Structure 1
Amino acid sequence: MPISTSSLFAAPFGRQDRSAAWQVAAVVLGTLVLAASSHAEVPMVPVPITLQTLAVTLIGALYGWRLGAVTILAWLGQGALGFPVLAGGASGLHHFVGATGGYLLAFPIAGALTGWLVERGWNAGRIGLAFLAMLFGNMVCLALGAAWLAILIGGSQAIMLGVVPFLLGGLLKSALGAAVLAVLSRGPLRRRA
């Protein structure tokens, strides 16, 4: 039976046949990528602009929903334990209950959703669907982040400060994420998948 183009690049790092050592190495690499994305920051109040949502959705897309969520949770755990891996090198539990708490808690859900969609064919074989998978991941972050922020500062302020400034960036990061998947699908990852 021929393999469809859309299944050729369905979460190559998240394949079930990978060894435990390989998966642990993937988690370590993923947490390093997430930490690096946190340091690409434009300070804003109450929530900074970073490359975290791009990294979160790409980790989900490349690792699949299970390994992606585990990787994102490991990174958040590092931040909670005091490692400087959150936005701008921040760390500590207080970030999980402050203005950024909803966004941080949304990240594993967004990564898992993106990975789940990619595993179902919303990948580089269908670039429009790959873009939508990334966009849905970004929307989850904005929705859950704004919901938490609304508890702290009110609904209209949460929308104006926690959603509106991030809409264009979410579109651009989704397009960039889909493009990265398309490039990687033609490279060495595709041949090994």
Structure 2
Amino acid sequence: MSYLSSGASRPAFSPLDLQNASLVWKGFAILLGTGILAASSYISVPMIPVPITLQTLAVTMIGALYGWRLGAVTVIAWLAEAAVGMPVLAGGASGLLPFVGPTSGYLFSFPIIAALTGLLAERGWNGHRPLLAFLAMMFANLMCLAIGGVVLGFMIGAEKAFLFGVLPFLVGAALKSALGAALLRLIAGRGARPVA
């Protein structure tokens, strides 16, 4: 199977090529993705009111590798698992409380940023162009912080929301974006093969 897009010599945006996969493989990818998202939630640094986790790295990677549609669906499936009681969020949280608490804006932003990263990846902001991949992930991280910060602002005030829910996460957003771009470059380098 070629990892090059049809009709052009440009490499496909993801070596996973899930857009052309069967429904069974897509279903397996969603299950695998929700597992990765759950695992990323357990790698966290406790902070108040919002912990630092690897969730945004996992969300943006899934968007970049799965594409905007399947990436967003995978993230929504993971959030649905949390809503029905599976302990898949930061610190093993589950149920409906996280969706109305201080982290709610960040959670609701996740399908959006997965779709954004996937959309940009499909347009060339992917592992074949690491700088653009970094920018795509950085835009997504900033969008997450913006949406989460605005919602948090309604709960604790705009100034506190910025100081506690946005500012401490900016350096981490840049680092996670750089790591994500490096991983995408590595995956693209291993997955892309010339057409025979």
Give 1:140 shift: 1.1
Alignment of 1:162-173 (within 5 A): 162-173=165-176
Is the contact between residue 99 and residue 107 of structure 2 (CA under 8 Å) also seen in structure 1? yes
Q: 1:109 aligns with which of 107, 112, 122?
A: 112
Alignment of 1:47-86 (within 5 A): 47-86=50-89
What amino acid does structure 2 have at the position aligned with 1:45?
I
Is the contact between residue 41 and residue 87 of structure 1 (CA under 8 Å) also seen in structure 2? yes
Seq. identity, %: 58
Pair 191,164 (structure 1): closer, same or farther in 2 beyond 3 Å: same
Pair 93,180 (structure 1): closer, same or farther in 2 beyond 3 Å: same
Pair 172,30 (structure 1): closer, same or farther in 2 beyond 3 Å: same
Pair 149,157 (structure 1): closer, same or farther in 2 beyond 3 Å: same
Give the corresponding residue for 1:139.
Answer: 142
Q: 1:3 aligns with which of 6, 9, 31?
A: 9
Q: 2:154 aligns with which of 131, 148, 151?
A: 151
> TM-score, normalising length from structure 2?
0.93
- Offset from partner CA, 1:50-80 (integer Å, 9 cap, x none): 0000000000000000000000000000011
Give 1:2 shift: 5.1
Give the corresponding residue for 2:19.
Answer: 16
Give the corresponding residue for 2:192.
Answer: 190
Give the corresponding residue for 1:129.
Answer: 132
Is the contact between residue 134 and residue 178 of structure 1 (CA under 8 Å) also seen in structure 2? yes
Give 1:39 shift: 0.1
Give the gaps of 5 or more residues in structure 2: 1-6
Give the corresponding residue for 2:47.
Answer: 44
Give the structure with the larger helix fraction: 1
What amino acid does structure 2 have at the position aligned with 1:180?
L
Aligned-partner Cα distance in 1 for 2:143–2:105: 10
CA RMSD of aligned residues (A): 1.6
Aligned-partner Cα distance in 1 for 2:87–2:8: 47
Pair 122,45 (structure 1): closer, same or farther in 2 beyond 3 Å: same
4+ residue stretches of structure 1 with deviation over 2 A?
11-16, 189-193
Give the gaps of 5 or more residues in structure 1: none
Is the contact between residue 9 and residue 123 of structure 1 (CA under 8 Å) also seen in structure 2? no
Give 1:92 shift: 1.0
